Structure 1
C-alpha cells in the first residue's frame, strides 16, 4: 500500500530530509555529551569522532540501500519484519520507539541545563514540561510544518557551528588582543593522547550517543517526495558534513582551551567561550545549543509517532496507532509518545542534575540494538534480492558488502563490552537482556491472542 493510499503525505522535500538528518545527529551529544568524550580522550577526541563517524556512515548506507529500494514509513522495522521475521520486526520497531523516548528525555534534561545558564533558579523539570507541550503541539499541525521547523532549527545549528569555527580560528591565529592563542593546548596538558588508546576506546561510547538519531533519514522515506533521489543525497552529503562539524568544531575547542579544564557543568562550547572572556559568544552559543536540543526532541516526537504507526500497520501495535487525521498525522502515536516522555519530567524532578548520564547509557544500548538490526537485515535483504535476480538492480548499494556489515557488527559488540566496564553505564548493559526478554514475552502474548 502506498503512503498516498493509506493517508500518509509525502510533504518532505530534499532540503527537509537533509536538515532532518542533521537535526537528529547534531544535538545534545555534540553540544553537551562531548564533555564526557573530552574527559576520556583529550585532544584526541577528533580520532574518536572519525572512527565513530565511519561506522555510522556504513550503517546508514545499509539502511539507505533498503530505503531507496522500498521507501516506506517505519523503515528498518518494516524491513526486519519482511526479510527476517515477525519477532525481529516487532523488536526493532518497539526498540526504536523506546530509544527515541529515552533520547527525548535526555534532550529535555539538556534543555533545563542550558536554561540554567541564564536562569539558575528554574528547576529542570519545569523547563522540560514547557518544551514537551510546545513541541508536541507543533507536531500535530502537519508534516510540512514539522519539516519546515526542523529545516530552520538545523540551519541555526549549522550556521552557528561554522561561525564558531571561523571565530575560533581567528582567535587561534590573531588572539583577542593581537596575541595568537597558538596550538600548545593540544599537547602541553599530558600530550595529544593523554589517556592512551584506552581513553580513545572508552570515548567511543559517548561518541556513538552523539551519532544516534541519524537513522531518522530512513524513517522519513515514507514521506519524502522523491526518495530515490533525496535519500542517497542526504546520506552521502550529511555524513561528511557531520564529520566536518564535529571534528572541526571540537578541534577548535581543544586548541582554544585546556581540555582538562572543560568540566561537565554545561555545554563545553558555551563554557569555553565564557571562560576565555567572551560572554557574548557564550550567550549566543547557549541559544544555539538550546535550539539544538529542541531540534532533536522535535525529531524524536516525529519519529515516535511514525514508528507506532508502522508497528500498527504490521499488526504489532494497537490499531488505534494506525489512524491518521486529515493532515496525515498519526495523532495517537504522537500524543501517547509525548505522554510517556513525561516520565523524563518526573525523573528531572526526582533526580535533578543526575539523570542525563543514565539516560545516555540506556539510549546507547537501544541504539546498538537498532544498528545491529539494520546490519543483519541488510545482509538478509541483499541475499533475498540476489535470490530474486534483482541484486544488480539496486541503486544505492552498501560499499564493500558484506565485509562492512561484519566490521560494524564487531564494533558494536565492542561498544557494549566497553559499557560493561564503565561504572556509570554498567546498569544499562545489565538491563539489555531484561529489555529483550520483555519484548519477547510481549511478542508471545500478542501471538497467543491472535491464535484465539
Structure 2
C-alpha cells in the first residue's frame, strides 16, 4: 500500500489544513483575550524590500571573505563573481516567477512541498533554517574580528555573546522595525562602497603613489603580477568554492516577499537589480581595490576594503570602513536570523516542528521561533575559543553554509522545472518569466554540481563538504519519524498551500 506522500497527485490536489493549525486559528477568532495567532504581517514597503535585496548581496562574504578569494585567484576573482552573479540572477528570476504565480507561497519550503512533494518541503525548510543559523554564527565570528581591530585586548567571547543577544532583541520587534533597521544599515554599506569606488577613481586619475612601497595606483596592477590568471586554471577554479559564500543572502527577498506590500510591483524590481548590484558592488569595488593595492599585498586574513584604505594612507577612512564592515556583519546576521525564524514558523505550521513555534504575537512576531533559534547563535563562542584565528573559524563555518545553500538553490531550480511541467498555463501567462526556461535551470544545476566538486579540492573546505551527507541522513530519519507520527494521529503530513486567487492572494489581487 502506498503511503500518503507516495500517492500520485494531480496538479490541483492540495493537502488539507492540519487540525492543530485550525485549532490555533479558531482560538484566535473565538477569544478576545487571545493575543497569539499564526499569520505573519505584510509590514515591508517597497524601499524596505529594495534595500534588503541590495543588503543581502553585500555581506560578510564580500567585506571579509573576498580577501581570501583574492589570495587564491588573484585578479581572476572578477570573473568568478561575474559568473556566479549571472547564475544567481537566473535562480532569482525563476524564484520570482514562482512566487508571483501564487502569492500563498510564503517560503522556499512552501514552493518545494507544493511542486515536488511534502518530503521536499521538509528537507528544504530545515536545511535553510540550519544554513542561516550557521551563517549567523559566521557573521558573529566576523564581528569579533572587526571589534579586535578597534581594541585587540577585548576577549573574543564578549562581542560574540553581545551580538547574539542583540540579534535576539532585534528579531523580537515587528517586521517593519526589521525593515527599517535593514534599510538604514544597507544604505550605510551602499554609501561606503560607492565612496570607496569614487576615492579609488580619484587616486587612479591622479596617479597616487604610496610613499612606503613606491607603487602607484593603476589598472596595470591587475596585469603586472602574473596577469589576470596568476595561478592558472587550478587557482581560478578554487576561487569558486569561497566566492559562492558571498552570494548567500540574495534569495532573502524570497522570504521577505511574504511580508511585503504589493509584491507584484516590488518583487520584480528587486530581482532585476541583481545584475547592477554585482557589477557595482562586487566587480567595481574589487577592481578599484586591486588597482590601488597590488593584489599580493592584500592580507587574506583581513578585509581588503580596510587594507586598501590604510595602504593608501587614509588611516581615519580605514577606521571608518572597518566600522561599516562591522555593521555589515551585524546586518547580514540580522537578515539571516529573520529568515531562519520565518522558516521555523513555516515548519511549525506544517506540523514538522513543535506547533507552538507557529504562534505569533499580536504584532505578527513568531517569538517562540526567535527564542529557539537564538540558542544556536551562542555556539559562535566555543567555535572561536577552539580555533586558532578568526579567519580559520570563519572559513570553516562559511564552508558548511556554502554546501547547504547549494542544496536549497538547487531545489528552487528543480521546483521551477516542476512548476513549468505541472502548471504550463501559469508559466505561459506570467508577466515575469525567467529567461531560457527550458535550458537555464539545467545549466545552473550543472554549475552548482561544479561548485560542489570544487569544495572537495581545498583542504579547508573538504571536511565540511564530506560531512554534509550526514545532515541529510539525519533529515531523512527525522522525516520518517515525523511522517509516521502525523499519520498515526490522523493528521495530514503537511500544511495546505492555497490555490492562486484565494486567501491573501485574493486580497492582494483585489487591491491592485
Q: Shared fold (TM-score greater than 0.5)?
A: yes
1:377 and 2:418 correspond: no
Check whether the contact 2:56–2:248 (CA below 8 A) recurs between aligned residues: yes
- Point out where structure 2 has 5 or more consecutive residues left out of the alignment: 1-16, 18-24, 29-36, 489-512
What SS does the aligned partner of 1:395 have?
coil
What SS does the aligned partner of 1:190 have?
coil
- Point out where structure 1 has 5 or more consecutive residues left out of the alignment: none
- Go from structure 1 to structure 2 and tell me whether the alpha carbon gap of 1:78 and 1:370 turns closer, same or farther (over 3 Å shift): same
1:9 aligned to which of 41, 52, 59? 41
- Give 1:73 deviation, angstroms: 6.1
Check whether the contact 1:73–1:219 (CA below 8 A) recurs between aligned residues: no
Deviations 1:417-451 (A, max 9, x none): 11111111001111121111111000001012123
1:57 and 2:54 correspond: no
Check whether the contact 2:387–2:393 (CA below 8 A) recurs between aligned residues: yes
Deviations 1:120-150 (A, max 9, x none): 1112221111111112111111100000000
1:86 corresponds to: 118
1:430 and 2:466 correspond: yes
1:156 corresponds to: 188
- Give 1:352 deviation, angstroms: 4.9
Check whether the contact 1:219–1:303 (CA below 8 A) recurs between aligned residues: yes
User: How is 1:252-291 mapped onto 2 (pairs within 5 angstroms)?
Assistant: 252-291=288-327
2:63 aligned to which of 14, 17, 31? 31
- Give 1:380 deviation, angstroms: 0.5
- Give 1:152 deviation, angstroms: 0.3
TM-score w.r.t. structure 1 length?
Answer: 0.96
What SS does the aligned partner of 2:339 have?
helix
User: How is 1:13-412 mapped onto 2 (pairs within 5 angstroms)?
Assistant: 13-72=45-104, 74-176=106-208, 181-353=217-389, 354-386=392-424, 389-412=425-448
- Give 1:355 deviation, angstroms: 1.1
1:443 and 2:479 correspond: yes
Deviations 1:256-293 (A, max 9, x none): 11111211232111012112322012111101101110
2:501 corresponds to: none
Check whether the contact 1:25–1:296 (CA below 8 A) recurs between aligned residues: no
- Cα distance in 2 for partners of 1:342, 1:125 equals 9
Deviations 1:354-398 (A, max 9, x none): 311110110000110111110101110121111xx3332222111
- Cα distance in 2 for partners of 1:25, 1:46 equals 15
- Cα distance in 1 for partners of 2:203, 2:224 equals 19
- Give 1:351 deviation, angstroms: 2.1
What SS does the aligned partner of 2:378 have?
helix
TM-score w.r.t. structure 2 length?
Answer: 0.85
- Give 1:177 deviation, angstroms: 7.1
- Cα distance in 1 for partners of 2:311, 2:254 equals 40
- Cα distance in 2 for partners of 1:187, 1:132 equals 43
What SS does the aligned partner of 1:420 have?
coil
> Which stretch of the first structure deviates more once superposed, 322-331 or 35-44?
35-44
Check whether the contact 1:124–1:352 (CA below 8 A) recurs between aligned residues: no
What SS does the aligned partner of 1:327 have?
coil
- Cα distance in 1 for partners of 2:45, 2:272 equals 16
> Which stretch of the first structure deviates more once superposed, 348-357 or 103-112?
348-357
CA RMSD, 1 decimal: 1.8
Count of aligned pairs:
449
1:417 corresponds to: 453
